[in-house]
Amino acid sequence: MVIGEGVEWGLHCCVALAWLDDHAPIATARLAEIFELPPEYLKKRLQPLVREGILESTPGARGGYRLARAPERITLMDVVAAVEGRTDAFRCTEIRRRGAGAARAKSEFAKPCGIAQAMGRAELAWRRELSSQTIADLMGGAHDNASKYTRSFYEHATG
């Protein structure tokens, strides 16, 4: 499974917006400056988050982006689903019905095979893990070195 960099940009922007939250929209140019990205590129990456109600976008000279909900109410899975879509990573095509299986009775394929079941359990575990973590958690709930670095980065970039 490969998750596109749009998810990474989306998550980082959500964290930055949470740190910068003063109830006013943050200009696209300001967000783009933090990450040294072209504003138009970043704008395209944030559009799915607006469509899914994770971010709010305000047009105009004083416009920009802000979180549409509290950081505690935005899960990592929300962002992944907004950017990557909600389709399953593994799609069983029932290849066991081809070749030697083509002549078998359809009733033999009434239940998913062990491979489809295992992949489904793995994906469910992955989705549950991402659903259990929020933007607020990324902002500093953990005490590991990665979280300390991330917090330091945003404090420096925003302050």
Is there a domain that residue 123 lies in?
A: no
Q: Cα(10)–Cα(5) distance, rounded to whole angstroms?
A: 8
Is there a domain that residue 79 lies in?
A: yes
**What tokens does 73 get?**
């109410």
pLDDT band at 49 (very low <50, low <70, confident <90, very high): very high
CATH code, domain carrying 35 = 1.10.10.10
C-alpha closest to that of 65 among 52, 56, 74: 56
| pLDDT for the residue numbered 149 | 54
| Count of the separate structural domains present in the chain | 1
Which residue range is the domain that position 47 belongs to? Answer: 5-88+134-158
Contact 19, 158 (CB under 8 A): yes
**47 has a pLDDT exceeding 70:** yes
**136 has a pLDDT exceeding 90:** yes
Is there a domain that residue 94 lies in?
A: no
H-only helix segments in 22-109: 28-35, 39-51, 76-84
Is there a domain that residue 100 lies in?
A: no
Is there a domain that residue 57 lies in?
A: yes
pLDDT per residue over 79-129, tens digit each? 999 999 988 888 888 877 777 777 788 787 888 888 899 999 999 999 999
